[in-house]
Each structure stands twice: as C-alpha cells, then as structure tokens.
Amino acid sequence: MSGENYVIEAEARNDMGKGASRRLRREGKVPAVIYGAGKEPASITVEHNELAHKLENEAFFSHILTVKIGSVEESAILKDLQRHPSKPIITHMDLQRVSASEKIRVHVPIHFVNEEQSPGVREGGLVTHNITETEISCLPKNLPEYLEADLANLDLDGIMHLSDIKLPAGVEIVELSHGEGHNQPIASIHLPRAAKEGGGEESEAPAEGSEG
C-alpha cells in the first residue's frame, strides 16, 4: 500500500431531498453519504472541484481515505460514484467506513508488465487485455493500489488467468473464491488476424472432389 495519504475535507449536512441536493450541486458541492463500521450513516458534502482533482489519480479508487468532518476523522473507502450522464459533473458519492480488524472488498486495477519481453510478443503476437480490474478482499492495512500481472513468460497463443497473478500477503481475489469456473482469463497473446490469414494462403488446397 502506498504511503500517499488522501484526505477528503467534508461538511455534515442536515438538509435532505432532491431539492437540497440540486442546490448543493449549484453551489459546487457534491452530496455524499458515509456508512458502515457499526455506525449510523451520515450525510455529508464535499467540494466538487477538489474531489474531481483527486479522482484523476487512479490510486484514489483503491486507497484508504481519511474523511475529515469538522474535528472528526474517519477512515473509509470509495464504494460508489455517480456522474451526470452528459456533463463532467459528479452528482453523488458513497463512502464506506473501514475497521482495522474487518476485511474490506475493493475493486483494484490490474497493471500488466513485461509485455514486450514475453515470448509471444517477440514472435509477433499482440496482447489482448480481457479485464483490467478485479475485486479483492483484505484487511485495510493490506490493501494494494493495484495488482501486477507479469507477462514475461507468456507464449504465443498463451492465456493468463486470475489465478496466475501473484498476490500480496493477505490479499484474496473474490472471484476465485466462487470456484474454478470463475478463474477468468485476463490476458492472451495471439498473432494478428492478417498474419494468420497470410500464413494460411499457401497451404490451402481445394477440397477433394471440388472443381479446380
């Protein structure tokens, strides 16, 4: 887990309803809720532009956040984010409190490394990324910003699965807990279609009995 510390400055709010939320958005604020860890949900607001700036960093989505509400600080993770369908506006945010002793489930990105060094790419293959994130379960102290998928040994026509990712200590991939049938492919290397078609033209022969 990175030493980066993400702090969200928030304000408690008591005015509820769609009208109040629209007013907050006009004032450049984002209505949000923080819940979990055995406490009552609390309605809060955060500054839109400050939040938008933080969201530019990929790690913000898979990091323990410090939420400051007045003089109170709480640890939380980002659970849901709602955006306007056609404008670059964040309309709502859900935060889940975390406890040091309770496992959390978070979607984290998958970073693919050593693609150029893989035998498959050296033989002219192209890498396809099937998925670029997955849900993990771990204690807050073990939360990684991302998982690393090393393609250094992936051959041509080879496929890498979720189970091939080397996980940090204390981290589990949620999908794999559902059984072998959920061991999804995450990347593969194949020759481009044009190369396959070009390589097969010379070897094609008319089927037996067909006209020349």
| Strand boundaries in 98-200, DSSP class E | 104-113, 126-129, 133-138, 147-150, 159-161, 172-173, 185-190
CATH number for position 182:
2.170.120.20
CATH number for position 67:
2.40.240.10
The closest alpha carbon to 187, from 127, 143, 137, belongs to 127
Same domain, 88 and 117: no
pLDDT tens per residue across span 64-115: 999 999 999 999 999 999 999 999 999 999 999 999 999 999 999 999 999 9
**From the DSSP assignment, how many helices (H) and strands (E) are in the chain?**
4, 13
pLDDT tens per residue across span 136-159: 999 999 999 999 999 999 999 999
Q: Check residue 20 and give its pLDDT.
A: 78
pLDDT tens per residue across span 155-197: 999 999 999 999 999 999 999 999 989 999 999 999 998 766 6
Q: Check residue 86 and give its pLDDT.
A: 92
Query: Is 68 inside a domain boundary?
Result: yes
Domain span holding position 12: 6-97
Our count of domains for the chain comes to 2
pLDDT band at 203 (very low <50, low <70, confident <90, very high): very low
Q: Check residue 41 and give its pLDDT.
A: 95
Q: How many CA atoms lie within 13 A of 85 on its CB side?
A: 0
Same domain, 93 and 108: no
pLDDT tens per residue across span 13-46: 887 777 777 888 889 999 999 999 999 999 999 9
